[in-house]
Structure 1
Amino acid sequence: MQRLCNKRVVLGVTGGIAAYKSAELIRSLCKLGADVRVVMTKSACEFITPLTLQALSHNPVHLDLLDTDAEAAMGHIELAKWADIVLVAPATANFIARLAGGQANDLLTTLCLATAAPICLAPAMNQGMWRDVTTQENIGKLAEKGLKIFGPADGSQACGDIGPGRMLDPELITLHTAEMFKHDIFTGRSVLITAGPTREDIDPVRYISNHSSGKMAYALAEAAVEAGARVTLVSGPVNIEKPGRVKTIDVVSAQQMHDAVQENIEGVDIFIGCAAVSDYRPVEILKDKIKKDPNNTEEILELKLVRNPDIAASVAALDSAPFVIGFAAETRNVIEYAANKMQKKGMNMIVANDVSDKSIGFSSDVNEVTILAEGLQKTLPRASKKVLARKILSVASRGYHQWKRDQEQ
């Protein structure tokens, strides 16, 4: 059931008596980590209010195809692209007929035609309507097109009839929806990633920093979400769009990054220290801008620096430490220095790269790295950081699951 974590579900609610069950269905989907956006037909609003479903989904409910505000951004197309899956529950005989006929006369049918996401229907109607030849032909036509049909169940109905046509229970629909997604390498796991540079203020206009762009960490965050993880990203100052489905915490200094990590580390399964954290900060941040000293003929300015807290080492030292992956950006003796760093800080794995090569590493969209762990040295050849992120997590997954098995023995 953890397969629903971070999944984007568009729930279509049509006008049948079973619409009241959609409230419990939303609760069930959200409980398992799904992000639910509700689309209601006009007749569905006669059975349950949009306000109820908005309160349960924590998202605005979408009602109209020609919504002026939404249409400014082609709202139905955006929803179609946003969805990982479209689930219509209840799906009435009328809606099934319109969808089978390729109609696009309201927001829900239009969205279904526009989306590339899987579409699942949970039929709900009178047993006579379900058994009708036309309904069965429509269901068969939709099934042939690849739509998934959940149910219906057999039993007593609101009209007093007994037979097939009842909408499946919300928990069973949730289970079927979860089964639409494969079990990914980090399904249900919590991952915390640090990203980008830190800045250490000298005075109101100057700071100490480095060339990290944050691109590798952001690619890892996106890849971890794709792999089924719940992701928290603690990011220094970068010029990158925040990844979707990720909790992002913006920080500036190394101390702020350290504090944010400590505040969010509880319950984390995997920590990835990808940020280029400043090792030192000024002992004192001056209140006013430093001015040139006309009496300083040597033109030398001395700054006193103090060491910043080591974030990766502090995480690895926790009593209930997660699986810790570090990064080592080196200019020489790359493998040796990275191996020493991993051992000294008590990390489980480290990713080393040579930043003396200007064509990779900092600010570049490509990289090549070597992954080190106990009994492991694996080089990943040059590729885009998005491709490397998936490969790094694939290797990390094997290391994490072996580490977890060793802990349980």
Structure 2
Amino acid sequence: MVTGKKILLCVSGGIAVYKACALTSKLVQAGAEVKVIMSDSAMEFVSPLTFQALSRNEVYYDTFDENNPKVIAHIDLADWADIVLVAPATANVIGKLAHGIADNMLTTTLLATTAQVWIAPAMNVHMYEHPAVKKNIQTLNEYGYQFIEPSEGFLACGYVGKGRLEEPEKIVNLLNQYFEKRALGQPLKGVNIVITAGPTREKIDPVRYITNHSTGKMGYAIAEEAAKLGANVTLISGPTSLATPAYVNTIYIESAQEMYDCVMKYFPQADVVIKSAAVADYRPKITYDQKLKKQDGLLSFEMERTTDILKELGKRKKHQLLVGFAAETNNVEEYAKKKLETKNLDLIVANNVTSEGAGFGTDTNIVTIFDRNLDKLELPLMSKHEVAKKLLEKVQLLLRVENK
């Protein structure tokens, strides 16, 4: 699917530059047209001549090197690209892009392009986990940039952990999937969907918190399938171990209050909201700045209600379609129907989490989907991605009805 596509590869400095050479070669072999921009630090590892030979195109590295008087080079490149790929992306270039700094050919072009930008980080594991780097990645996620998460393994610095540039074969495969998705019909193209996933954590003290068994797999599956259908997806996720979905604006939160604030921020522009997260109903009324020490006897503390996000959305919704989840252990249908009515939902997905293959952490689910008329669609045991597809079919049907 990359055949004939115009791919602008931005290479920043790091030992992983050698993988960018292999990536260039594989993209060209697959039929893509590749042009390369290099930072000064990238040229300390590999010469521009190498990329010129592999791409069969001129390599760009100097903002003021204007060989063609008819165009401005960085604007011409920015407009030329079908997709822009930053690989490897160092902590430095991620930070510059997050803060709008354009001080070389690479960053200037990145700020000028309107094409989809993918960023493939590569750095030391501790750098990747640094709060400043995480914040910059979060900022770029919110801007709509897509990230190809680094893989885990032995790093050039000697550490073992997350920070290796994803393998060129995997990146080419992701690009193939991206262009295939664009070539197929996209029934949700232009639809803004907000999805919540995973658990929340409610702090007790600096080392303890209250949470639940949710892994986020169902919400992440919905986000991935919605993106394949062309939707503009914002995924608001509690703490999980899942990889960030491709083509999805992913925002990470911890507490129920943080999830509430984030959902309310994106709600006005949303066309569809799917609340699959397992949000805590209660949190400790008092949290402690110091670790609570063990004592003899029982320990008790007072709990207070968190804001019911779904109920609040039901009160505020105007044009939005609102989808809820009911994870129950008994009287599933009764509780689901009650929730559908009291929270002003359009659809509710109900399941018994004690059923084999349908609980938290599984790759499968057994659900029943109820609509506003209490018509129900009972689905057998299937993968969570298949459940997501069935749910999104119902969403598409409701959107067509609403738009008539």
TM tier, smaller: 0.5 to 0.7
Q: Matches of 2:380 and 2:217 in 1, distance apart? A: 17
Aligned letter for 2:377? K
Change (3 A) 1:19 1:269: farther
Counting only pairs closer than 5 Å after superposition, residues 366-381 of structure 1 correspond to structure 2 as: 366-375=364-373, 376-381=375-380
The answer for the alignment partner of 1:220 in structure 2 is 222
Residues 248-269 of structure 1 deviation map (CA, whole Å, 9 limit, x = unaligned)? 1111110010001111222111
Q: Report the Cα offset of residue 368 of structure 1.
A: 0.9
Change (3 A) 1:387 1:319: closer
The answer for the alignment partner of 1:148 in structure 2 is none
Q: Matches of 2:377 and 2:118 in 1, distance apart? A: 47
1:394 to 2:393 alignment: yes
Secondary structure of the 1:232 match is strand
Secondary structure of the 1:381 match is coil
Q: Matches of 2:177 and 2:302 in 1, distance apart? A: 56
Secondary structure of the 2:268 match is coil
Secondary structure of the 1:317 match is helix
1:81 to 2:179 alignment: no
Q: Report the Cα offset of residue 354 of structure 1.
A: 0.4
Residues 111-161 of structure 1 deviation map (CA, whole Å, 9 limit, x = unaligned)? xxxxxx67xxxxxxxxxxxxxxxxxxxxxxxxxxxxxxxxxxxxxxxxxxx
356-365 vs 378-387, which deviates more? Answer: 356-365
Structure 1 unmatched ranges of 5 or more: 1-7, 40-48, 62-68, 87-116, 119-177
Residues 29-60 of structure 1 deviation map (CA, whole Å, 9 limit, x = unaligned)? 8xxxx744499xxxxxxxxx877754425759
Q: Report the Cα offset of residue 388 of structure 1.
A: 1.3
The answer for the alignment partner of 1:347 in structure 2 is 345
Q: Matches of 2:270 and 2:343 in 1, distance apart? A: 18
Q: Report the Cα offset of residue 228 of structure 1.
A: 0.5
Q: Matches of 2:283 and 2:70 in 1, distance apart? A: 59
Aligned letter for 1:251? I
Q: What fraction of aligned residue pairs are identical, expressed as a percent?
A: 35
Q: Matches of 1:359 and 1:85 in 2, distance apart? A: 29
Q: Report the Cα offset of residue 27 of structure 1.
A: 4.4
Change (3 A) 1:203 1:26: same
Counting only pairs closer than 5 Å after superposition, residues 132-211 of structure 1 correspond to structure 2 as: 181-211=183-213
TM-score (norm 2): 0.61
Counting only pairs closer than 5 Å after superposition, residues 244-259 of structure 1 correspond to structure 2 as: 244-259=246-261
The answer for the alignment partner of 2:301 in structure 1 is 303
The answer for the alignment partner of 2:287 in structure 1 is 285
Residues 53-81 of structure 1 deviation map (CA, whole Å, 9 limit, x = unaligned)? 544257599xxxxxxx9x98664x45532
Q: Matches of 2:80 and 2:275 in 1, distance apart? A: 34
The answer for the alignment partner of 2:322 in structure 1 is 324
1:265 to 2:257 alignment: no
The answer for the alignment partner of 1:157 in structure 2 is none
Aligned letter for 2:346? N
> In 2, are the aligned partners of 1:37 and 1:57 still within 8 Å (CA)?
no
Q: Report the Cα offset of residue 211 of structure 1.
A: 0.6
The answer for the alignment partner of 1:10 in structure 2 is 7
Q: Matches of 1:324 and 1:265 in 2, distance apart? A: 10
Change (3 A) 1:319 1:85: closer
Residues 191-244 of structure 1 deviation map (CA, whole Å, 9 limit, x = unaligned)? 101110111112222211111010000000000000100111111111111111
The answer for the alignment partner of 1:100 in structure 2 is none
> In 2, are the aligned partners of 1:9 and 1:83 still within 8 Å (CA)?
no
Change (3 A) 1:315 1:84: farther
Aligned letter for 1:286? Y
Q: Matches of 1:261 and 1:282 in 2, distance apart? A: 22
Change (3 A) 1:20 1:335: farther
Q: Matches of 1:73 and 1:28 in 2, distance apart? A: 25
The answer for the alignment partner of 2:113 in structure 1 is 56
TM-score (norm 1): 0.61
Change (3 A) 1:246 1:27: same
Which residue of the other structure, out of 273, 276, 286, is the alignment partner of 1:274? 276
Number of residues of Structure 1 aligned to a counterpart in Structure 2: 283
Q: Which has the larger radius of gyration?
A: 1
Secondary structure of the 1:324 match is strand
Change (3 A) 1:78 1:290: closer
> In 2, are the aligned partners of 1:315 and 1:322 still within 8 Å (CA)?
no
The answer for the alignment partner of 1:230 in structure 2 is 232
Q: Report the Cα offset of residue 277 of structure 1.
A: 0.5
Q: Matches of 2:165 and 2:254 in 1, distance apart? A: 36
> In 2, are the aligned partners of 1:338 and 1:352 still within 8 Å (CA)?
yes
Q: Matches of 1:194 and 1:258 in 2, distance apart? A: 10
Q: Matches of 2:226 and 2:381 in 1, distance apart? A: 20
Q: Matches of 1:222 and 1:324 in 2, distance apart? A: 19
Aligned letter for 2:276? C
Change (3 A) 1:367 1:380: same
Change (3 A) 1:306 1:80: same
> In 2, are the aligned partners of 1:10 and 1:83 still within 8 Å (CA)?
no
Q: Report the Cα offset of residue 320 of structure 1.
A: 3.2
The answer for the alignment partner of 1:365 in structure 2 is 363
Change (3 A) 1:404 1:78: same
Q: Matches of 1:25 and 1:343 in 2, distance apart? A: 53
Structure 2 unmatched ranges of 5 or more: 9-32, 36-56, 59-67, 88-104, 120-155, 157-163
Secondary structure of the 2:250 match is strand
